[in-house]
């Protein structure tokens, strides 16, 4: 048994939690769209062809925002291909994923699905093969009420009211050698500036996210962010970050895997330093916020830079990662870390939603089920509302070769003043020992009462959910919690992710 302490105080805030932190990502890649969210012949399909079993799981997941249509797909996408009568839509070669794209799902179908799910859209424009003019025309098609060529085209397609899409990505991973029409930072920065200017002329209410470097370990990282923002600082609102957790062959240990949570914390903090340095040079009070719009575990189904298949197949099985308990624990820890950076991370998208490195899996014509990583995301999305409080942790730990001294305990605390509820998210990274944890909740309105407590833990860290065993790994009640006034005590099992929700009882 190890001992740890966690202290928070109502007066020590990090910032309000933006609910867009619980976004997901749907790209025209593999089976994410076709036989993922959309399968007209499926027994659960609605009149528009969308699988209602997947729709139900998406709502259960609690996703608040969805990024679309890519990803790498975005850099070769002609938005006009995906609107209008289905029998008149062209079939194209998708050079990003060496597949054939039928365009049966496009802007209006996707927006109909998005509204059905109650999710905010985050759309992207193609700054690979196309540019500023196509972007402003796409925005006009989507957001202008009527009376112009592009807005009337939308209305002729049966969508009278504008989609009112507020959040837009200016391209995707434009520094990546794999990207269609890769750019230098100055080329991209200038293009992002001029595209952003045109788009905000069409609709001044939109928010724009510029591409950061494709990963923290890219050779272009840092210099890319600085040069890009030197051009487009005034017109953009967010800078994107992308991160995928891997197990390198030279150190595949679980402890090293879990240490990547701190690596991503440093990624955020380093990026904030770069973007604020640009602001300082410009003597600007403006603060660019961060959009962590691609993140997940991805290494088993990652074979080379492209999963090229022969014959240009339609919706092939690509990047279908099967997640285990170890992955779910890391995802839970990553969520605590992002919550603790709520002052600057305002948008995040788990990549992706279905089949392609997704929390949901489907069988064509068959069932859909929850992967292990579904559960920490769903529980966090359900309970994290309000103000993020600064969590002070005292915990034993270990020494990681790359990250140095690390505590076994990862934690975040979110307090909702209106309801009096406090959500505590906890990861015990010790793989062998239980943790006796004392939590001091100061100034939260009186004695605390337990509302809910759940844990995600399994004796086998390699256990997975499958079509045959869809609930092998699932949350279970967390028992043994003792509350005395504002002090909470609990034992966390080894290698476990936990959520505890309390509510203040006002003293009489």
Q: Kindly report the length of the chain.
A: 508
Q: Which two tokens stand for residue 52?
A: 């209602």
Mean of all residue pLDDT scores within the chain: 96
CA 145 – CA 151 distance, rounded (Å): 6
**More confidently predicted of 306 and 108:** 108
Q: Which of 173, 194, 262, 321 is catalytic?
A: 173
Phi, psi (degrees; rounded to nearest 5) at 381: -60, -35
According to the model, what pLDDT value does residue 505 have? 85
Is the pLDDT at 358 greater than 80? The verdict is: yes
Query: Which residues in 489-505 are b (16+ Cβ under 10 Å) and which e?
Result: ebbbbbbbbbbbbbbbe
According to the model, what pLDDT value does residue 303 have? 65
According to the model, what pLDDT value does residue 396 have? 98
Q: Lowest-pLDDT range, 55-69, 133-147, 216-230, 289-303?
A: 289-303
The per-residue pLDDT for range 114-126, each reduced to its tens digit, is 999 999 999 999 9
How far, CA to CA in Å, does 195 sit from each of 106, 232, 291, 488? 22, 10, 19, 52
- In the chain, what are the helix, strand and coil shares in percent, each to the nearest 5? 25, 30, 45
Domain with CATH 3.20.20.80 in the chain: 70-335
Mean pLDDT of 433-462: 96
CA 99 – CA 112 distance, rounded (Å): 25
Q: Is 294 a catalytic residue?
A: yes
Identify the band that residue 306 occupies on the pLDDT scale cut at 50, 70 and 90: low
CA 424 from centroid of its chain's CA atoms? 20
Mean pLDDT of 206-226: 97
- Say yes or no: domain 70-335 is CATH 3.20.20.80: yes
pTM of the model: 0.97
Mean pLDDT of 358-370: 98
CA 378 – CA 194 distance, rounded (Å): 39
- Say yes or no: domain 2-10+387-505 is CATH 3.40.50.970: no
- Helix and strand numbers (H, E) in the chain are 9, 26
Is the pLDDT at 399 greater than 70? The verdict is: yes
Is the pLDDT at 231 greater than 80? The verdict is: yes
Element of type H or E holding 113: helix 107-117
According to the model, what pLDDT value does residue 482 have? 97
Is the pLDDT at 471 greater than 90? The verdict is: yes
Mean pLDDT of 157-176: 98
According to the model, what pLDDT value does residue 290 have? 98
Q: In this structure, are residues 455 and 478 in contact, taking their beta carbons and an 8 Å threshold?
A: yes
Is the pLDDT at 508 greater than 70? The verdict is: no
CA 21 – CA 263 distance, rounded (Å): 19
Q: Is 173 a catalytic residue?
A: yes
Domain with CATH 2.60.40.1180 in the chain: 2-10+387-505
CA 173 – CA 220 distance, rounded (Å): 11
Q: In this structure, are residues 301 and 357 in contact, taking their beta carbons and an 8 Å threshold?
A: yes
Quick one: what percent of the chain has pLDDT higher than 70? 98
According to the model, what pLDDT value does residue 181 have? 97
Phi, psi (degrees; rounded to nearest 5) at 228: -60, -50
According to the model, what pLDDT value does residue 309 have? 76
The per-residue pLDDT for range 492-502, each reduced to its tens digit, is 999 999 999 99
According to the model, what pLDDT value does residue 507 have? 61
CA 186 – CA 246 distance, rounded (Å): 30
CA 231 – CA 485 distance, rounded (Å): 54
Mean pLDDT of 32-58: 98
Identify the band that residue 23 occupies on the pLDDT scale cut at 50, 70 and 90: very high
Mean pLDDT of 133-138: 98
């Amino acid at each position: 048994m190890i001992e740890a302490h966690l202290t928070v105080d109502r007066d020590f805030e990090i910032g309000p939690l933006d609910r867009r932190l619980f976004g997901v990502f749907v790209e025209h890649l593999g089976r994410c769209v076709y036989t993922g969210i959309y399968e007209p012949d499926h027994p659960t399909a609605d009149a528009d062809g969308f699988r209602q079993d997947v729709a139900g799981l998406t709502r259960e997941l609690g996703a608040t925002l969805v990024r679309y249509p890519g990803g790498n797909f975005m850099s070769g996408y002609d938005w006009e291909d995906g609107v209008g009568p289905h029998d008149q839509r062209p079939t194209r070669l998708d050079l990003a994923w060496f597949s054939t794209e039928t365009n049966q799902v496009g802007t209006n179908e996707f927006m109909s699905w998005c509204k059905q799910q109650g999710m905010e859209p985050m759309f992207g424009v193609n700054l690979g093969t196309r540019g500023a003019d196509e972007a402003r025309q796409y925005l006009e098609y989507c957001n202008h009420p009527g009376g112009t060529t592009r807005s009337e085209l939308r209305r002729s397609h049966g969508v009278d009211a504008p989609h009112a899409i507020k959040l837009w990505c200016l391209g995707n991973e434009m520094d990546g050698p794999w990207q269609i029409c890769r750019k230098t930072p100055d080329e991209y920065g200038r293009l992002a500036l001029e595209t952003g200017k045109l788009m905000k002329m069409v609709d001044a209410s939109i928010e724009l996210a510029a591409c950061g470097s494709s990963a923290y370990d890219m050779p272009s990282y840092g210099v890319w962010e600085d040069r890009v923002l030197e051009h487009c600082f005034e017109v953009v609102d967010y800078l994107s970050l992308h991160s995928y957790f891997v197990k390198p062959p030279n150190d595949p240990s679980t402890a090293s895997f879990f240490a990547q949570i701190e690596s991503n914390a440093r990624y955020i903090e380093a990026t904030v330093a770069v973007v604020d340095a640009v602001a300082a040079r410009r003597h600007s009070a403006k603060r660019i916020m961060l959009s962590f719009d691609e993140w997940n575990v991805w290494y088993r189904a990652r074979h080379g830079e492209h999963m090229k298949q022969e014959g240009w197949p339609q919706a092939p099985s690509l990047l279908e990662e099967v997640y285990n308990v170890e992955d779910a624990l890391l995802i839970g820890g990553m969520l605590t870390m992002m919550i603790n950076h709520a002052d600057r991370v305002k948008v995040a998208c788990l990549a992706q939603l279905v089949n392609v490195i997704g929390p949901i899996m489907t069988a064509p014509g068959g069932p859909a089920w929850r992967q292990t990583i579904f559960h920490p995301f769903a529980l966090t999305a359900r309970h994290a509302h309000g103000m993020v409080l600064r969590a002070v942790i005292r915990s034993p730990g270990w020494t990681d070769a790359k990250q140095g001294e690390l505590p076994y305990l990862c934690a975040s605390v979110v307090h909702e003043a209106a309801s009096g509820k406090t959500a505590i998210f906890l990861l015990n990274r010790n793989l062998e020992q239980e943790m006796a944890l004392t939590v001091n909740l100061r100034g939260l309105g009186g004695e605390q009462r337990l509302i809910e407590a759940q844990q995600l833990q399994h004796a086998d860290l390699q256990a997975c959910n499958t079509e045959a065993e869809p609930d092998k790994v699932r949350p279970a009640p967390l028992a043994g919690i003792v509350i005395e006034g504002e002090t909470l005590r609990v034992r966390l099992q080894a290698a476990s992710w936990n959520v505890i929700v309390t509510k203040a009882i006002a003293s009489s």
